[in-house]
Structure 1
């Protein structure tokens, strides 16, 4: 055998040995990985089809796997880890990965799982440094449910999730969000959320990236028709039908603050919202204390900071059923446009905390121009506010859409101009009102019967002497006391009603 042949043979033997070593190491690492997963205290019922490891390429994959951990069940078609740097792990004690790809994961979270299993356990110290250049999830589903026997509380499908430049270490694990990231992109569809026992919320599409959020075709759907709805509520409650074709947040930021979700944006937009409310006054009164809007925002479970919220071309309709043999009374607003500034519950201890201001323009009952300016301080625990408005030209036909069916009362003539300006807090309000009316007359119709007092039934107090009147009156020092188990809109109605009573009588 020549010298050259001996060298070639030696090289071949070394290569075969190296290949054998790598194959053996691959199998050994795969075995260790299987053992670690199967014996992990955090993971139960771990099953899989195959685990493959390629140390030379720094790749590993698990196919057709599922496991249970705490209150979560997880399964997926494949998890692939690519480009693991063995050098950095051995010499820098750092786990560096080029890409992680998770295919068709299905995550189910059970909200009624026994939380005592993890309560009180100390987190082990994790001295490590992890960096992932790219993390991609495709065709995922996420479900939240009380148990397997009831419908989902939350469901969404995630065609695409991409996170770049992910880093995690001991310090990040101690924070609310256990890792940091760079750019990201999320697409979701078929979104479902069960709000309560009477309503579901849905959306067809959600798109999020580092600077933009958009949700399309949002809808809130009652589970029962108007007659059946009343059988499922213990007291008066609005039946809500809501459609929002588009919600957008520009240049938005999100994060976690003291376990609360934090959302910030200089501009949010709600386009062509359509909201229809229906209330049956034949049901028992709701005795619960109603919060002012400033308090609702102050106590939101999320931290919110929106510089400007624009509502464009919205519709709002409220119906109230008072008597079985009459159609519901109707109040409606169309072509509603609103600008809301400084909508925030963050930094409420600041001395220069901003005032929330709202500007609204709309058509009332399809015929009268209505403009409203409203302001309040969300940090103010007395819920102080100021609200003013101007209503121009409402006819008897518009007024009678809610007077006749709700109160069995009919008006003639109309109101040419109404202006009001009130200030108050969660208990009392006072202000002034100017009213111009022409040939105005109110009459009680036959067979009116006795009707239950409510938001619209308070209009009965506007019954005046039968002769038609035409006057211009300004009333000052008008007062109103809030009923704590009624909404802010009932409170506002009291202010307007009291001003009208002084003008008419």
Structure 2
């Protein structure tokens, strides 16, 4: 027999053995894999698939039509826990040795296509770390995971959607899950991640829902497009549904951009650090109905709220660009709400932090440039120091060129007066703390006349209007008319109520005769 013939026969036998071995091992793996996945006693889920394709030469494994469902020990239909289906799972560089020797699935790359997960509520609080991570702590490790075209739905106890996300894409690199990581706050370790989805819907309690369009998140940055916080109730329905005074918010943000950030845990303490957060075209409307009973609980000032945070927060700068803010306050169901608006709103907030793990405590500042009531330039500079136990702060403002008719939507509902004329310049310095305030108020005006109304806000109090216009000068003769102002804080009210009462007192002291300022 020639050498060539021997080589051909040997090669043929070898190929035949490889084919037999491939089929044999493939069959063995197809039988072994389900037992590995189910071998953990604490594994709470059944995992199944329609077909399994194994390429031993390349170390690749493809699972088709995989399904995930909770183990049913009762024999009755279940709507409890996580249910899922996945079109395809492709595993690249599969380690046969780890499966044979250690009953572990170790791979280089996992590709998950079109997963759809539905999470039903459980009788006990759902715990991802305990339910999904711990059962796999000795089973799977991989360098990279790619997930494409995913859909996730979280239902509440009535089977209504609480959270839903569409067209999810995830990339995770250098994933590690083992007996040491599962003990940490972050049970899955990774070197980097990238998350994308087309839209998110979230039911944020009984009164609001949140929607977004495209979201892009990574381990260092975040972009959220068209964020919206929308009330579930109309204003009147909201006012009738609350036992005590409470604000209703309607907020839209065209774009939220965090260009650089870092977060994690140090000794079980969460830290969140970012040099900058950008909010573009915020549109916020705040509605406060005064018809329900007053909420007399003490309201914390911002310095106290930041001082009492139990995690390490550090944001160097927050930028609001080209935004619109509106506050509405309604005194009764039969009266229109007072409206205060701030358009072309641009602001920079510097040094937002919690004192935890800090050695330096810089002053927190807010600088605002906007149009008051869509027409009058307003600039505000607000400062406070977070560690200051007295919660002292200073707000300085300058308002220009106010046609008095533009403030009637505020003055009539809240002060029972309307005006005619021009307020050319208003300056104020408001020094406050958790107890009281003092400062200065100055105004320059001309051709000013007032019209005062009776308590119901409908009929003019002609006598008081006549007396007021008779005794008060209708202009300041080109000079600033100044007054020292002091107002005690109502601790059941917000800092903005505190500021408004300070400004209201300044207006009364400078515009109205003393005989008319003794009572609102």
Deviation at 1:92, TM superposition (A): 12
Q: Could you tell me how far 1:63 is from its partner in structure 2?
A: 2.4
Asked if structure 1 preserves the Cα contact closer than 8 Å seen for 2:199 and 2:215, the reply is no
Measured at CA, do residues 383 and 47 of structure 1 come closer, stay the same or move farther in structure 2, by a change above 3 Å? farther
Change (3 A) 1:192 1:291: farther
Shift of 1:206: 0.7
Say whether the 8 Å CA contact 1:176–1:258 is kept in structure 2: no
TM-score (norm 2): 0.82
> How big is each residue's C-alpha offset from its partner over 1:2-58, in whole Å with a ceiling of 9 and x where there is no partner?
676455444433432332223222211221111233444323243332334443322
Partners of 1:43 and 1:67 within 8 A in 2: no
Partner residue in 2 for 1:207:
216
2:311 & 2:160 partners in 1: Cα distance? 25
Q: Where do residues 369-384 of structure 1 align in structure 2 (5 Å cutoff)?
A: 369-384=377-392
What pairs with 1:16-415 in structure 2 (closer than 5 Å)? Answer: 16-40=16-40, 41-68=42-69, 71-86=81-96, 97-110=107-120, 113-115=123-125, 130-132=141-143, 134-147=144-157, 149-256=158-265, 262-298=271-307, 303-345=312-354, 347-415=355-423
State the alpha-carbon separation in 1 of the partners of residues 265 and 257 from structure 2: 21
Q: Distance in 1 between matches of 2:129 and 2:210?
A: 32
Instruction: Give secondary structure in 1 for the equivalent of 2:36.
Output: helix
Question: For structure 1, which runs of at least 5 residues remain unmatched after alignment?
Answer: 452-461
Distance (whole Å) between structure 2 residues aligned to residue 407 and residue 389 of structure 1: 21
* Structure 1 residue 83, shift from structure 2 partner: 0.9
For residues 136 and 463 of structure 1, do their structure 2 counterparts lie closer, same or farther at Cα, with a shift above 3 Å needed?
Answer: farther
Residue 89 of structure 1: how far off its partner (Å): 7.9
CA shift in 2, pair 1:127/1:184, >3 Å = closer
2:109–2:142 contact (8 Å) kept in structure 1: no
**Matched residues in 2 for 1:186 and 1:112: separation?**
27
Structure 1 residue 500: deviation in Å? 3.4
Question: Partners of 1:77 and 1:473 in 2: how far apart?
Answer: 75
Tell me by how many angstroms 1:242 deviates. Answer: 1.6
- Is the alpha carbon distance of 1:339 and 1:493 closer, same or farther for their aligned partners in structure 2, counting shifts above 3 Å? same
Which blocks of at least 5 consecutive residues in structure 2 are unaligned?
71-79, 459-464, 515-520
User: Could you report, residue by residue, the CA deviation over 1:361-400 in whole angstroms, capped at 9, with x for unpaired residues?
Assistant: 1111122221111122334454332221112232220221
Distance 1:413 1:116, change over 3 A: closer
Matched, 1:424 2:435: no
Q: Would the alpha carbon gap of residues 67 and 379 (structure 1) be closer, same or farther in structure 2, given more than 3 Å must change?
A: farther
- 1: CA distance, partners of 2:118 / 2:252: 28
Query: Is the contact made by 1:323 and 1:406 (CA closer than 8 Å) also made in structure 2?
Result: no
SS at match of 1:34: helix
CA distance in 1, matches of 2:372, 2:407: 10
Seen in structure 2, the aligned counterparts of structure 1 residues 297 and 326 have a Cα distance that, compared at 3 Å, is same
> Which stretch shifts more, 295-304 or 376-385?
295-304
Are the structure 2 counterparts of residues 186 and 280 from structure 1 closer, same or farther at C-alpha, using a change threshold of 3 Å?
same
Indicate if the aligned counterparts of 2:416 and 2:457 stay in contact, CA closer than 8 A. Answer: no
Return the offset for 1:112. Answer: 5.0
Is the partner of 1:266 in helix, strand or coil?
strand
The 8 Å contact of residues 27 and 53 in structure 1, kept in 2 or not, is answered as: no
The 8 Å contact of residues 141 and 155 in structure 1, kept in 2 or not, is answered as yes
Distance 1:464 1:150 in 2: 65
1:207-249 deviations in Å (ceiling 9; x for gaps): 1235432111111212222333333322333332222111111
2:501 corresponds to 1:500: no
Partner of 2:486: 479
Q: Which digits, 9 at most, give the CA deviation of each residue in 1:297-348, with x for residues without a partner?
A: 4456875422111111111112222244433221111111101111222x53
Q: Distance in 2 between matches of 1:409 and 1:241?
A: 29
Q: Which moved more, 1:279-288 or 1:90-99?
A: 90-99
- Mapped to 2, the partners of 1:311 and 1:139 lie a distance apart of 33
CA distance in 2: counterparts of 1:124 and 1:77, whole angstroms: 23
Q: SS where residue 325 of structure 2 aligns?
A: strand
Once residues 384 and 209 of structure 1 are traced to their aligned partners in structure 2, the CA distance between those partners, rounded to angstroms, is: 38
Q: Any residues of structure 2 matched to 1:415-494 within 5 Å, and which?
A: 415-445=423-453, 448-449=455-456, 465-467=468-470, 468-469=472-473, 470-471=475-476, 472-476=480-484, 478-494=485-501
Alpha-carbon RMSD? 3.6
CA distance in 2, matches of 1:438, 1:208: 55
**Alpha-carbon distance change, 256 to 105 in structure 1, aligned in 2, over 3 angstroms:** farther
- Which SS does the other structure have where 1:273 is aligned? strand
Query: In terms of mean alpha carbon deviation, does 480-489 or 333-342 score higher?
Result: 480-489
